Amino acid sequence: MTTRRPSSWLPFLRCQQRSQYPYTSPSNSHTPRLIPTKAENILETGPSPKSRPLTEKEREFLQSAIRVNQAGELGANLIYEGQYAILKCDPRLKPLIRHMWDQEVHHLDTFNKLVAKHRIRPTALRPLWNVAGYALGVGTALLGEKAAMACTEAIETEIGGHYNDQLRTLLDMLKDDKDLLQNGELKQLMDTIREFRDDELEHLDTAVEHDSKDAEGYHVLFNIIRGGCKAAIWLSQRV
Ligand SMILES: [Fe+2]
Ligand SMILES: [Fe+2]
């Protein structure tokens, strides 16, 4: 899959000095990289021989969780890509959005690898999230810096809560289950979700610190975007 070039969509918004920001990887692509670097290889240790096999219900939960997380991280990447295309000329916001986008690139790469490793079917709605995520990023950035930050606040509130829900379910799965506690992959998945949850909540704090709540029509904007994000999560878990 080739990556779209947002600047060619909106040539009138180009900065004089064109951004050289690399998107996901040297291949500049959303497609999974199947050869993970050592630091990113969260599945290096497989389940211990002592760990029991997962039940059908547990397997379904994990497949659905990884699928929806990949979809969510793809959407987040495209939102930041859209915002960056519009706000990259702003010296205050450019490094901020770039930093958050950078973290989303790492999140997406990680879930791409998990999807590939476990042969999980990605959501069929991926093309829709491609368009909707980028349009949301561009649209809110065009409304202004504060609206862009309100978008970030709404998305990260929902995603942070979503990761917390997954952590609670995983903790319930492991609770009092000595066999499953030996499963190194599950433990690493929990550590990954915990780390990404913390990143998302940091993005939320950044948005609030940059006046998200002062955006015009903040409450309407926040609730519409958060509701859309919730619906996207619900759909991506199932379709
Ligand atoms: Fe993320
Ligand atoms: Fe985020």
Mean pLDDT by 10-residue block, N- to C-terminus, for the chain (239 residues)? 37 36 37 38 46 79 90 94 92 92 94 89 87 93 94 94 93 80 80 94 94 93 92 86
Cα torsion through 97, 153, 221, 146, rounded to 10: -50
Which H or E run includes 27?
A: none
Q: What CATH number matches the domain at 50-238, 3.30.310, 3.30.110, 1.10.3470, 1.20.1260?
A: 1.20.1260
Instruction: Report pLDDT for 48.
Output: 52
Q: Label residue 43 exposed, middle or buried (CB < 10 Å: 0-12, 13-18, 19+).
A: middle
Ligand nearest to the Cα of 153, by number: 2
Whole-angstrom distance, CA of residue 75 vs CA of residue 104: 9
CA 84 to ligand 1 center in whole angstroms: 16
**What confidence score (pLDDT) does residue 49 get?**
54
Is 118 annotated as ligand-binding? no
Structure tokens given for 34? 């199947």
Q: Find out whether 156 is annotated in a ligand binding site.
A: yes
- CA–centroid distance, 226 to ligand 1, in Å, is 15
For residue 228, the CA-to-ligand 2 centroid distance in Å is: 16
| 106 in a labelled binding site | no
Residue 178: partners with Cβ closer than 8 Å, 6 or more residues away? none
What is the 54 CA–ligand 1 centroid distance (Å)? Answer: 27
Residue 60 assigned as binding residue: no
* Closest C-alpha to 37, from 55, 29, 25: 25
Gap from CA of 79 to ligand 2 centroid (Å)? 10
For residue 163, the ligand closest to its alpha carbon is 1
